[in-house]
Amino acid sequence: METAGLIVIVAVALAFDYTNGFHDAANAIATAVSTRALTPRVALLLAAVMNLLGALLSTGVAKTVGKGIVTLPSPEAADVAGSHATHGLTVVFAALVGAIAWNLITWYFGLPSSSSHALIGGLVGAALAASDTVKWQGVYEKVLKPMVLSPVIGFALSYVVMVIILWCIARLRPGPVNRGFRMAQIVSSGAMALGHGLQDAQKTMGVIFLALFVTGHVQGDAPIPIWVILAAASAISLGTFSGGARIMRTLGRRVIKMDPPAGFAAQTVASSVLFTTAYVYAVPVSTTHVISSSVMGVGATRKVSAVRWGVAGNIAMAWVVTIPAAGLFAAATYAVAQLFVG
Say whether pLDDT at 145 is over 80.
yes
Say whether pLDDT at 4 is over 90.
no
Q: How far apart are CA 184 and CA 24, in angstroms?
A: 22
What does the pLDDT read at residue 261? 92
Q: How far apart are CA 28 and CA 40, in angstroms?
A: 11
What does the pLDDT read at residue 74? 63
- Per the CB < 8 A criterion, the answer to whether 224 and 209 are in contact is yes
**Phi then psi for 144, rounded to 5 degrees?**
-70, -45
Q: What is the mean pLDDT of residues 310-336?
A: 83
The single-letter code of the amino acid at 244 is G
- Per the CB < 8 A criterion, the answer to whether 112 and 255 are in contact is no
Alpha-carbon dihedral of residues 106, 43, 243, 6, nearest 10 degrees?
-100
Q: What is the mean pLDDT of residues 319-342?
A: 89
- Per the CB < 8 A criterion, the answer to whether 98 and 327 are in contact is yes
How does pLDDT run across 6-25, given as a tens digit for each residue?
Answer: 899 999 999 988 888 877 66
Say whether pLDDT at 193 is over 50.
yes
What does the pLDDT read at residue 332? 95
Q: Which residues of 299-331 are buried (b: 16+ CB within 10 A; e: fewer)?
A: bbbeeeebbbeebbebbbebbebbbebbbbbbb
- Per the CB < 8 A criterion, the answer to whether 62 and 203 are in contact is yes
How does pLDDT run across 241-291, given as a tens digit for each residue?
Answer: 776 555 555 544 444 567 889 889 999 999 999 999 988 888 888 887 888
- Angle subtended at Cα 14 by Cα 201 and Cα 232, rounded to the nearest 5 degrees: 35
Q: What is the mean pLDDT of residues 197-207?
A: 88
Give the percent of the chain with pLDDT over 90: 32
Burial of 186 (0-12, 13-18, 19+ CB in 10 A): middle
What does the pLDDT read at residue 81? 43
What does the pLDDT read at residue 188? 92
Q: Which residues pair with 40 in a beta bridge?
A: none
**Which position has the higher pLDDT, 307 or 262?**
262
Say whether pLDDT at 33 is over 70.
yes
What does the pLDDT read at residue 315? 64
User: What is the pTM (predicted TM-score) of this model?
Assistant: 0.83
